[in-house]
Structure 1
């Protein structure tokens, strides 16, 4: 079992590293060449800036029982298809029970944006957001380790 992170815009990389290190779980952070990450506990995989290059590299390395951290519903869908666990940066689990609704909501929001409507504002990340993610992520890691 390992953790794979869609790390280009991931605001919780440090939390992921700290939790993974405490549980002795391997971490792969996948980024494109426009980003720089300093190696720490994790292994950094840098790919080209081609469209979806990070997504493809991440999914190609995903195996059953792995944990994928991503904000991308498409990546989460492919991870679930590979029998991996998936979670977003806010601690929300992607599951077979909720992914279809999430994809449909994304489709509707895209239609609204293309029609000129605003679909909401993005609020600044808080310490509570980080704590919520850490709690959910630790729970998911423990669950994955038990199943592995």
Structure 2
């Protein structure tokens, strides 16, 4: 088991790194070269950099994924692709994407895009707060503990 993060714009990278350290799990962050960093990270963290452009990181994640990975993304399209591979996928607010609800999310995304094309305004996401970070960490900690108990 490892964490895989869709790194372009993920606000919970540090929280995932801390959880990975706590549970002795590796982390893979896939991100565009726009986000290249020389910052020092722990040895259990690996970066894969992809070319700039639409969906480059998404396609690489699909290519790199393993059955027992936990993926963090806010991209409904990527979540949909991964659910078809039986991978557990989570939003950065801690909500797990499910096969039963992904079609509704994709439809909502499509309709919002159509409204924007027509010149109408749509609501953006709420600001990401420390409370959101804490909730994400608590939810992921429970997922990890439950998963470890099943393995025993």
Q: Please, what TM-score do these two structures have when normalized by structure 1?
A: 0.91
Superposed CA offset, 1:57-90 (max 9, x none):
1111112121110010011111111111000111
For residues 64 and 45 of structure 1, the distance between their equivalents in structure 2, rounded to whole angstroms, comes to: 19
3-state DSSP class of the match of 1:29?
strand
CA distance, structure 2, for counterparts of residue 27 and residue 73 of structure 1: 21
Determine whether 1:58 maps to 2:50. Answer: no
* Residues 1:77 and 1:107: Cα distance change in structure 2 (over 3 Å): same
Give the corresponding residue for 1:13. 13
Tell me the distance in 1 between the aligned counterparts of 2:150 and 2:52.
35
Structure 1 pair 77–143 and aligned structure 2 pair: CA distance change class (3 A): farther
Unaligned residue ranges in structure 1 (runs of 5+): none
Check the 8 A contact 1:2/1:66 in 2, yes or no: yes
CA-CA distance at 1:140 after TM superposition:
2.4
Residue correspondences, number: 148
Per-residue CA deviations over 1:28-62 (Å, capped at 9, x if unaligned) read 00111111233413111111113311111111111
Aligned residue number for residue 124 of structure 1: 127
Structure 2 Cα separation of the partners of residues 34 and 72 of structure 1: 18
Residue 136 (structure 1) shift: 1.5
Distance 1:80-1:144 versus aligned 2 partners, 3 A rule: farther
1:143 to partner: Cα distance: 3.6
Q: In structure 2, what is the equivalent of residue 82 of structure 1?
A: 85
- 1:30–1:47 Cα contact (<8 Å) kept: yes
Aligned to 1:139: 142
Structure 1 residue 121: Cα displacement: 3.7
Question: For residue 35 of structure 2, what is the aligned residue in structure 1?
Answer: 35
- Show CA shifts across 1:103-122 (max 9, x none): 11111111111111111143
Give the unaligned 5+ runs of structure 2.
none
Q: TM (normalized to structure 2)?
A: 0.89
Query: Superposition pairs for residues 75-114 of structure 1, below 5 Å?
Result: 75-114=78-117
